[in-house]
Every structure is written in structure tokens, then in C-alpha cells.
């Protein structure tokens, strides 16, 4: 599909335009890129069927951008993009992946030090040339080196959010082959780990050759590492390594249990098997030479005398002991979620207006939607001020009145994602906050504060009587930025004391809280909420990644407030003491 190619170009154009301090054009290209990212139909087919006029009917695509899409589809390049790159010949995507380096800084570094890519940036920082630049200094240089080091540690791993859709597409392709009896992902993908090193697929079939021939000839395969009757390995164009194993139908469950892992979990289950005089491996469970289980995973666990354990918690962190006692948690399910309280609209730079987001939520089956646009400190995100929040409230009230008149059992709530300033205060006055249905508070700047300062800053915000939710609490961006330095014991205690709900941000780049902190919050009795942080209707689907993360942290339905009905949720949001 040409969608991804064009999307990448438009993101690059948006970033290059930011170096020129253009106010509106970067936003237009960013919006177009986001729309293309989420467009299901190939844009080239749309053009073939309807020409430029059809392109202009795509949301977020105006006449000027439609012309550039047409030019790319006809010639394979965009003259405007080529001219921008000549003006500032840098690998923008590489440079802005470094925390603290934005498009304007990248341009300055190119103009002053001829920094074109990540390698140049590291060399300049190590030779202390960046610290010498006006407005930069030693602290900026140190932060750049730390961020580059962090990026190197994450190299070679992929976000679950980037991998899972590809895996699901491959599975759908295989399901069309009649010889495929069973198919499943295994390994870290099945355990829904935040990042994935490589992908494991498992198939049972009576025709391994046909399956393997199809596998190694899939579109996107650029390297075949090995091809055999039971195992083949390939690399895709995106650099993803995929292993496919073929097993007989009677061993599929045992193989799925074995290849799902984790390694530590498997050691634990094998010890139990040995204690019962059984042998457990990828072929089955055996009593002597007799196979007693193996066809499906549940019978494998049952043969060991333990409950089936959900893949997300197979990490040897107490799940086997809980299973032996019959005390495994009933993990939250996606179907338990009744609504989303962290969604951004066109009011603050999102691509969709409130009614469009609401209709999408109704289609999902939600009872409610919370609009939580950024507030005024985040000018780059078109943050709303007090007057704009009031105007937005009038629009939401009108929409809710229409729902009521039409007997649609759905409600839009108005929140705001406020900014926790350096001193712990919020960027919106309490007089405006008290008129909202709820307030989300989050750190969006000055990430490098000392542990003591950051702890004090966050706790002061949590004490605000109108703050109900702490957004993406630790501030990490997976593969890009580590969590803030803070005393999390004190922050978690403050959440408990002040009745603040901790967010599990479902964006695949955040997944914040992490599994460890979710489990701590659960044990402390702190309530949580899973939010999509959607800036586009399609990103509402990020909710599933938040649910995966909650499950990895052993969270149950009762731990998550947006599993509540609308009526119960509104009661919870009215008071700081959260009870379910």
C-alpha cells in the first residue's frame, strides 16, 4: 500500500516545516499523514477509481495535498518534499527520536554543526560541541547523550502495537488455506509484552510443505534464514524476524504452551510435571511412553493439576502458585470496558470532531465518552483556555440533549487533560475546573527534574480537589524515554490518600502504568482507568493494548473504573474517595 509511504513523507514534511516556524501548514500535513495511516483502502486504488476529486474526499486531504498525492502516485516523488530536503538535508525522523530534540533544534544543530543524523549527533555531543552553542549548555548535551544511550538499548525490538496487526494479518492469510487446522501466535506476542524481539507462529497441519512454501513466499519477505518441514524462519522488509513451527494436531496445545513461554514459567510447569511423575515438552504430557494430554492447552494444564493460566501473566511471578491454590485473578476483559475518558477532539488539534468520536464510541458499544483535550500550556497541541473550555461545554451539552431526545443511551462527559506545571499547580484556574465532569492531570514538560522535585510536583497536583485522574503517571515513552525520576512509593500512597485514579494509558508507545506498577496499585487498593488517549477515531482501538497491559498487571474488572456503568461512574467522579 502507498498509504504508509505517503504518510511517512507527510510526517517528514510537517517536521521540516516546523523548522521554519510555520503555524498552520505543519498541522495540515500531520493531519493528512494520520488519516493515511488509518485509511483502510489503498490510496492508489482510490485515485485510479476517482482521480484527484476522490482524493479530496478523504478526510484531512485538501486540494494542495491531493495534488501532491497525485504527483507521488504518477512519478514516485513529490517536488515540494525534495526542495524541503535540499534546504535542510537531515534525517529528521532519526534526530527527533532523541528526547528533547525537536525539529527546530535539529535545524540549528545542522546549521551550526552540520549534524545530519543520529551518528553525527552523538559525535557532536561526545566532543562537547553542543554544550558550546548559545542556548544549549552542558545539561542539554548530557540529556542528549542519555537519550541516545536509551535508544541503543531498545534497538532491535518492536512495539507490540506495531507488530500485532501484522501478525493478525498473516494469520488471516493462513486461515484461507484449507490445510491449516489450528494457528496461533506464541512467544512474547501472545504474552502481549510491550516490545517484541521476534515473532513465533504455530500451525498444525497434515501438509507442512504447502504451509512452508506459502510462508517463505509471503509479500514482504526479504530474507529466508531457513526452510524445513517443521520450522522455517524469515525476515520481513520492516526487519521483523518470524519463526513458523508446524506440529501435528494432537500436539498443538502442548506446543502452544511451550512456545508461548516464558522460559521461567515453563521451568515451573516442568517441575510440577516431574513431581507428578510426568514428562512435559512441546510434544505433549507423557506418563511413561503414553501421551496423556497435548491436543489443547487447557488439558495440558489440567493434567498437571493446575488451572489454565492466561498467557499475559505467564512470567513466573506467582501465577503458578496462585493456580495451584485455585486463586488466579479473573482478569479484566476488553468487553468489560464501558467507555473511554481520554480522547482528543478537533478542539485541540485532533482530527475528528466530538460528534464523530461519539458515534464511533456508540458503534463500539460504549455507554459514555470523555473528551479530555489539552489545556493552554501545550500551545503546540492547541491547548484550550478557560473560555474555550466553556464554549466546548456548550457544544457537549447540545449533543447530549440530542441523544436524550433521540432515546440514545449514551453520554458525553467533559474533562480536560491539564498540565502539571513545575511548581505542581495546574495551567487552568479551579473556577473553570470545577465546571468539568472530571479533571485529568499530567506532566508534559520539564521531565528531567530531580527525584525530590518531581515527587513534590506530582503530589501537589494530586492534592488539587478537582483532579480525579493522573495521566500516563510515569511519563515513559517506550523505546524513546525512560520514566521520570520520582519516589513512586510516595506518589502511590498519595493516590490512595487523595482518591486519585491512576491511568493505564493504552497508547502503544506509553502503556503507562507498566505491569509492575499496575500490580502495586492493585495490591494497595488504588483504582485505575484504561484510556486510549486517542487523537484519531481509529486510535480508540488502542483500548485493547491498555487491557492487555492491565491483564499483565493482574488487574480485574473491579480495579478499573471505566468498567462501571455510566450512573456508577458519574458517582465515582463526583468524589475523591473512589469506591466500586
My answer on whether 310 and 340 are in the same domain is no
My answer on whether 269 and 340 are in the same domain is no
My answer on whether 437 and 546 are in the same domain is yes
Angle between helices 488-498 and 515-524 (to 10 degrees): 40
How many Cα atoms within 13 Å fall on the side-chain side of residue 538? 10
φ, ψ of residue 325 to 5 degrees: the values are -90, 0
Of 354, 395, 394, residue with least CA distance to 372: 354
Q: Among 294, 326, 358, where does a domain finish? A: 326
My answer on whether 360 and 295 are in the same domain is no
CA quadruple 389, 392, 397, 400: dihedral positive or negative? Answer: negative
Could you tell me the pLDDT band of residue 467, with boundaries at 50, 70 and 90? very high
My answer on whether 409 and 260 are in the same domain is no
Domain membership flag for residue 241: no
Question: Do residues 10 and 29 make contact, with C-beta atoms less than 8 angstroms apart?
Answer: yes
Neighbours of 155 (CB within 10 A): 7
CA dist 515 and 82 (Å) reads: 44
Give Rg (Cα) of the chain: 26
Residue whose C-alpha cell is 470545577: 434
Q: Among 153, 172, 192, where does a domain finish? A: 153
| 122: three-class secondary structure by DSSP | helix
Indicate whether 376 pLDDT > 90. no
Q: What is the DSSP letter of 133?
A: S
Query: How far, CA to CA in Å, does 261 sit from each of 257, 286, 291, 312, 441?
Result: 7, 19, 21, 10, 38
Residue 449, domain CATH? 3.20.20.140
φ, ψ of residue 503 to 5 degrees: the values are -85, 140
How many Cα atoms within 13 Å fall on the side-chain side of residue 335? 0
Of 373, 324, 322, residue with least CA distance to 346: 373
Q: Among 94, 118, 153, where does a domain finish? A: 153
Q: Strands, DSSP E only, in 305-396?
A: 339-343, 368-371
- What is the percent of the chain where pLDDT is above 70? 97
Query: How far, CA to CA in Å, does 69 sit from each of 27, 46, 49, 53, 529?
Result: 17, 11, 14, 12, 40
Domain membership flag for residue 179: no
Query: How far, CA to CA in Å, does 338 sit from each of 136, 521, 529, 567?
Result: 47, 21, 11, 11
| 231: three-class secondary structure by DSSP | strand
Give me the pLDDT at residue 350, please: 72
Give me the pLDDT at residue 576, please: 55
Expressed as residue numbers, the domain containing 62 is 2-153
Residue 6, domain CATH? 1.10.150.110
Q: Which three cell numbers stand for residue 403?
A: 441523544
My answer on whether 311 and 349 are in the same domain is no
Question: Do residues 105 and 144 make contact, with C-beta atoms less than 8 angstroms apart?
Answer: no
Could you tell me the pLDDT band of residue 577, with boundaries at 50, 70 and 90? very low
CA dist 442 and 446 (Å) reads: 12
Domain membership flag for residue 232: no
Total domains, the chain: 3
Poorest-pLDDT segment among 141-145, 170-174, 228-232, 376-380: 376-380
My answer on whether 508 and 536 are in the same domain is yes
| 243: three-class secondary structure by DSSP | strand
My answer on whether 341 and 316 are in the same domain is no
Domain membership flag for residue 166: no
Name 467's bridge partners. 439
41 vs 503, residue with greater confidence: 503
Domain membership flag for residue 223: no
490 vs 445, residue with greater confidence: 490
Instruction: Kindly report the pTM of this predicted structure.
Output: 0.84
Domain membership flag for residue 242: no
Q: What tens digit of pLDDT does each residue of 389-414 get?
A: 999 999 999 999 999 999 999 999 99
CA dist 72 and 87 (Å) reads: 20
Domain membership flag for residue 207: no
Residues 6 or more apart whose Cβ sits within 8 Å of residue 537:
38, 351, 352, 356, 357, 360
Question: Do residues 446 and 418 make contact, with C-beta atoms less than 8 angstroms apart?
Answer: no
Question: Do residues 547 and 334 make contact, with C-beta atoms less than 8 angstroms apart?
Answer: yes
Indicate whether 380 pLDDT > 60. no
My answer on whether 400 and 465 are in the same domain is yes
Could you tell me the pLDDT band of residue 22, with boundaries at 50, 70 and 90? low
Q: What tens digit of pLDDT does each residue of 105-162 get?
A: 888 898 889 998 889 999 999 989 998 888 888 888 888 888 888 777 767 789 999 9
Q: Which three cell numbers stand for residue 236?
A: 520481513
Domain membership flag for residue 119: yes
Could you tell me the pLDDT band of residue 575, with boundaries at 50, 70 and 90? low
Give me the pLDDT at residue 286, please: 96
Name 186's bridge partners. 200
Q: What tens digit of pLDDT does each residue of 236-283 get?
A: 988 899 999 999 999 999 999 999 999 999 999 999 999 999 999 999
Bridge-based pairing state of the strands 199-205 and 180-186: antiparallel
My answer on whether 422 and 405 are in the same domain is yes
Q: What is the dihedral of CA 258, 555, 469, 452, to 10 degrees?
A: -70
My answer on whether 517 and 379 are in the same domain is yes
357 vs 31, residue with greater confidence: 357
Terminal Cα-to-Cα distance of the chain (whole angstroms):
47
Residue 261, domain CATH? 3.30.210.10
Bridge-based pairing state of the strands 279-281 and 501-505: unpaired
My answer on whether 301 and 354 are in the same domain is no
Could you tell me the pLDDT band of residue 458, with boundaries at 50, 70 and 90? very high
Spatial strand order in the sheet of 368-371: 339-343, 368-371, 411-414
Give me the pLDDT at residue 204, please: 97
50 vs 21, residue with greater confidence: 50
Amino acid at each position: 500500500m502507498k498509504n504508509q509511504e505517503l504518510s511517512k513523507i507527510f510526517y517528514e514534511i510537517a517536521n521540516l516545516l516546523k523548522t521554519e516556524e510555520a503555524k498552520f501548514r505543519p498541522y495540515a500535513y500531520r493531519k493528512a499523514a494520520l488519516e493515511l495511516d488509518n485509511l483502510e483502502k489503498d490510496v492508489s486504488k482510490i485515485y485510479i477509481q476517482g482521480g484527484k476529486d476522490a482524493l479530496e474526499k478523504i478526510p484531512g486531504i485538501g486540494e494542495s495535498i491531493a495534488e501532491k498525492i497525485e504527483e507521488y502516485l504518477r512519478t514516485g516523488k513529490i517536488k515540494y518534499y525534495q526542495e524541503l530536503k535540499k534546504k535542510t538535508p537531515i534525517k529528521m525522523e532519526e534526530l527527533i527520536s532523541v528526547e528533547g530534540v525537536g525539529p527546530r533544534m535539529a535545524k540549528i544543530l545542522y546549521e551550526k554543526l552540520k549534524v545530519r543524523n543520529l551518528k553525527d549527533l552523538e559525535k557532536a555531543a561526545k566532543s562537547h560541541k553542543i554544550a558550546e552553542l548559545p542556548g544549549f549548555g552542558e545539561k542539554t548535551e548530557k540529556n542528549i547523550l542519555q537519550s541516545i544511550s536509551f535508544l541503543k538499548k531498545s534497538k532491535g525490538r518492536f512495539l507490540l502495537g506495531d507488530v500485532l496487526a501484522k501478525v493478525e494479518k498473516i494469520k488471516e492469510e493462513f486461515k484461507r488455506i484449507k490445510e491449516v487446522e489450528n494457528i496461533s501466535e506464541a512467544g512474547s506476542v501472545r504474552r502481549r509484552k510491550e516490545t517484541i524481539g521476534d515473532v513465533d507462529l504455530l500451525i498444525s497441519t497434515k501438509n507442512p510443505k504447502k504451509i512452508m512454501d506459502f510462508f517463505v513466499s509471503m509479500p514482504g519477505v526479504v530474507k529466508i534464514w531457513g526452510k524445513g518441514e517443521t520450522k522455517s524462519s524469515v525476515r520481513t522488509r520492516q526487519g521483523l524476524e518470524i519463526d513458523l513451527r508446524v506440529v501435528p494436531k494432537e500436539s498443538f496445545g502442548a506446543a502452544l504452551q511451550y512456545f508461548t513461554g516464558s522460559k521461567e514459567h515453563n521451568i515451573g510447569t516442568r517441575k510440577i510435571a516431574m513431581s507428578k511423575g510426568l514428562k512435559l515438552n512441546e510434544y505433549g504430557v507423557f506418563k511413561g511412553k503414553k501421551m496423556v494430554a497435548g491436543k489443547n492447552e487447557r488439558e495440558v494444564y489440567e493434567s498437571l493439576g493446575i488451572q489454565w493460566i492466561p498467557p499475559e501473566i505467564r512470567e513466573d511471578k506467582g501465577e503458578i502458585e496462585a493456580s495451584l491454590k485455585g486463586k488466579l485473578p479473573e482478569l479484566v476483559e476488553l468487553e468489560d470496558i464501558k467507555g473511554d475518558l481520554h480522547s482528543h477532539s478537533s478542539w485541540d488539534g485532533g482530527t475528528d470532531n466530538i460528534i464523530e468520536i461519539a458515534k464511533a464510541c456508540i458503534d463500539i458499544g460504549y455507554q459514555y465518552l470523555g473528551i479530555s483535550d489539552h489545556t493552554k500550556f501545550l500551545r503546540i497541541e492547541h491547548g484550550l483556555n478557560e473560555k474555550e473550555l466553556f464554549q466546548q461545554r456548550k457544544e457537549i451539552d447540545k449533543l447530549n440533549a440530542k441523544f436524550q431526545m433521540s432515546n440514545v443511551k449514551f453520554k458525553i462527559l467533559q474533562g480536560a487533560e491539564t498540565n502539571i506545571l513545575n511548581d505542581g499547580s495546574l495551567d487552568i484556574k479551579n473556577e473553570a475546573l470545577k465546571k468539568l465532569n472530571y479533571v485529568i492531570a499530567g506532566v508534559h514538560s520539564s521531565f528531567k527534574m530531580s527525584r525530590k522535585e518531581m515527587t513534590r510536583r506530582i503530589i501537589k497536583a494530586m492534592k488539587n480537589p478537582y483532579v480525579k485522574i493522573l495521566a500516563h503517571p510515569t511519563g515513559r515513552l517506550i523505546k524513546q524515554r525512560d520514566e521520570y525520576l520520582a519516589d513512586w512509593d510516595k506518589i502511590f500512597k498519595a493516590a490512595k490518600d487523595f482518591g486519585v485514579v491512576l491511568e493505564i494509558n493504552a497508547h502503544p508507545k506509553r502503556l503507562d502504568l507498566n505491569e509492575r506498577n499496575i500490580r502495586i496499585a492493585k495490591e494497595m487498593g488504588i483504582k485505575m482507568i484504561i484510556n486510549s488517549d486517542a487523537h484519531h477515531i481509529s486510535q480508540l482501538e488502542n483500548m485493547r493494548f491498555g487491557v492487555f497491559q492491565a491483564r499483565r498487571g493482574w488487574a480485574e474488572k473491579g480495579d478499573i473504573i471505566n468498567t462501571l456503568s455510566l450512573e456508577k461512574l458519574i458517582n465515582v467522579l463526583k468524589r475523591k474517595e473512589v469506591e466500586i
